[in-house]
Structure 1
Amino acid sequence: MCTTEQKPLFRDLTAEDPEPEVTEIESLCMNCHSNGKTRLLLTRIPHYKNVVLMSFSCEECGFENNEIQPGGAYADLGVRWKLQVQENIDLNRQVVKSDHTSIRIPELDFEIPAQSQKGEVTTVEGIIARAMAGLSQDQETRRREHPDAAAQIDAFLERLQALKTLQTPWTLQLEDISGNCFVENPVAPRKDPRCDRHDFKRNKEEDHKLGIFTQEELNDEAKAEPEVGSYDCMVTDEVLQFRTNCPDCNAPADTNMKLTKIPHFKEVVIMATVCDACGHRTNEVKSGSGVEPRGVRYELRVAGRADFSRDVLKSDTCALSVPELDLEVGGRALGGRFTTAEGLLRGSLEQLRDSAALTGDAPALADPQALTEFTKKIEEVLDGKRAVTIVLDDPAGNSYVQALTDDPKDDDGLKVTWYERSYEQNDELGLNDINVDNYS
């Protein structure tokens, strides 16, 4: 029986893979209407995700075009980035934008709407340069036929040029309803001092723009029976299995799902996926009972082996931070998982080791030596040579840290604080348009 090795669909570009699988398609040139060639490459961008690179060239007229499209599913939430451009290093930051990314510069009241440009990997300076090139197009004709309009555009081009020379600090705002947008952090893995990221829940209209429809919208009559695999159909001792795609290489894989009860906490859904193509393994945990009325913050002092072995349930809305290491990890970076305090630190360490420098128009800004020193500090914590405090902040209230006493208040190494969510946190959880008191 002949077998063929199954390879991941999206692979890293490495020296061990000198001939990546490039697909060539004969396609129409939109410039001269002759036949040209489109080359498709499925690859991965470090620190980001799988993408499809498309390159078109026409031998007849020399026209060329390059595009980038996300190679996976849309993110669960949209994303907004706000970057304060104050230094030259900010102009060289790598930016990955999709077709659905809108760009705003409030100081100039300038906006590039979503879907007006194709997705690309560029830099902050590249965004300004592309805008200037678009505005400069046909300026000579415009000066002859519409001199007043041409003069206004020339004045605006001077203001854009001032942004490139950083005569004054300015702000770059990106919004992407698909969640497929990224801005490089030059001080990674530390928190970016001049760039803020905010996830938001899409509304129904934005979902429809992406082609996302609920089952009720597709079939208004499909309401009588609960869907197979929903929480209502799940039994505690039953393991459900369904076909999905690997989150790493997008190859077909099996996902096992089970509803279980965590003592002193609540019911959760545990999902595990193993990919036969690339060997990727992932475990996810989802709450089985909705959002809590208040957020929760755990402060766990890790100073011994007993602290490392505490059970920890981290939801995908829970942010992780270690103040002593200046480490901050967003909720969706590690995802939801049921592990231990040691497992959280090891998961962060593995992500840092697997990350590579982002490549593109400009050289990587992050210092690899700083990253190496940072991983050594985490290793010292895992070896018990350094005591730290792990802070878990979950606005949804769906995270849990095991206490070593019957009453968590008597546990000296664990501090639990429940708090009222802010408007922004409710917005991120999609609760501002509903009665929050009904969620529990």
Structure 2
Amino acid sequence: MDEQDINIPCPICHQEGQLRMVAHVDEIPYFGEHTQVTVMCHACGWRQTDFIPAEGKKAGAWSLLIDEPKKLRSRVVRSSSCTVRIPELDLEVMPGTNSTGYVSNIEGVLNRFVDIINMVRRDVVRDLSNPDSEQDELLDSLQTLDGLLESIENAGDASPFTVDFLDPNGHSMILDQDANERELTAEELKELPIGPDPAVFSSDDVTN
């Protein structure tokens, strides 16, 4: 895949002449043909990846009940506009300004939650070392975080939980025969963030 120069400044470090774009067309079973577009800055390392289906998609939500270990292998396509939720654990990751898309599986999605929980846990442990901190409150938080980690570690074996993908752009999908698809409600469409602006450039901005 050849990189193409983009003649605009990097949106993060604002360096000129450092942006490159790579576009790759691929076929994902049950998802169809899509274009993976990656924009990167060679100066600061910023990178944004997104997935654009060949056919237009409606805003929608996908849900999968994780009640057996084999569902951890279910493939997913998560675009930069997708909110991921685990309602039973009160966990949610919403797309921010630097959100990026990925193709993975349910286990990979859960690992991303684990990384975030562990990061918060390290902060709590650090704060506990401060004798002036609210020890009881921090210990409660630590217990809650450890409970979340245990629930995710036992995914498919212990109490089942649901993984939800909610995408206002309709570019995300859970590729499992047991996954449920539905339209987003008007309230969800109003409240859900749509992530970063798409990496769209005019033909004058892109050079081979």
- TM-score between both structures, scaled by the size of structure 2: 0.65
Q: 1:28 to 1:200 in 2, by over 3 A?
A: closer
Q: 1:207 to 1:179 in 2, by over 3 A?
A: farther
Cα RMSD for the two superposed structures:
3.7
Deviation per residue, 1:170-227 (Å, 9 max, x gap): 2222222222111223xxxxxx2x22222357579649977xxxxxxxxxxxxxxxxx
State percent identity of aligned pairs: 17
Shift of residue 129, structure 1, vs aligned partner: 0.4
Conserved in 2, the CA contact under 8 Å of 1:143 and 1:151? no
Secondary structure of the corresponding residue to residue 80 of structure 2: coil
Deviation per residue, 1:269-317 (Å, 9 max, x gap): xxxxxxxxxxxxxxxxxxxxxxxxxxxxxxxxxxxxxxxxxxxxxxxxx
Conserved in 1, the CA contact under 8 Å of 2:52 and 2:171? yes
Specify the alignment match of 2:110 in structure 1.
Answer: 128
Deviation per residue, 1:298-345 (Å, 9 max, x gap): xxxxxxxxxxxxxxxxxxxxxxxxxxxxxxxxxxxxxxxxxxxxxxxx
Specify the alignment match of 1:140 in structure 2.
Answer: 122
Aligned residues: 179
Unaligned runs of 5+ in 1: 1-19, 186-191, 211-440
Unaligned runs of 5+ in 2: 129-134, 195-208
Secondary structure of the corresponding residue to residue 100 of structure 2: coil
Conserved in 2, the CA contact under 8 Å of 1:68 and 1:119? yes
Specify the alignment match of 1:296 in structure 2.
Answer: none
Secondary structure of the corresponding residue to residue 90 of structure 1: helix
Specify the alignment match of 2:150 in structure 1.
Answer: 158
Specify the alignment match of 1:268 in structure 2.
Answer: none
Conserved in 1, the CA contact under 8 Å of 2:85 and 2:163? yes
Specify the alignment match of 1:172 in structure 2.
Answer: 163
Distance 1:204 1:89 in 2: 30
Shift of residue 93, structure 1, vs aligned partner: 1.2
Q: Superposition pairs for residues 169-248 of structure 1, below 5 Å?
A: 169-185=160-176, 192=177, 194-200=178-184, 206=190
Q: Superposition pairs for residues 95-110 of structure 1, below 5 Å?
A: 95-110=76-91
Choose between structure 1 and 2 for higher RCO, CA contacts under 8 A separated by at least 6 residues.
Answer: 2
Shift of residue 54, structure 1, vs aligned partner: 0.9
Deviation per residue, 1:79-130 (Å, 9 max, x gap): 2212122333211111111222222222212222354743221211111101
Conserved in 2, the CA contact under 8 Å of 1:79 and 1:177? yes
Secondary structure of the corresponding residue to residue 137 of structure 1: helix
Q: 1:152 to 1:196 in 2, by over 3 A?
A: closer
Distance 1:64 1:100 in 2: 18
- TM-score between both structures, scaled by the size of structure 1: 0.34
Conserved in 2, the CA contact under 8 Å of 1:78 and 1:178? yes
Conserved in 2, the CA contact under 8 Å of 1:78 and 1:202? no
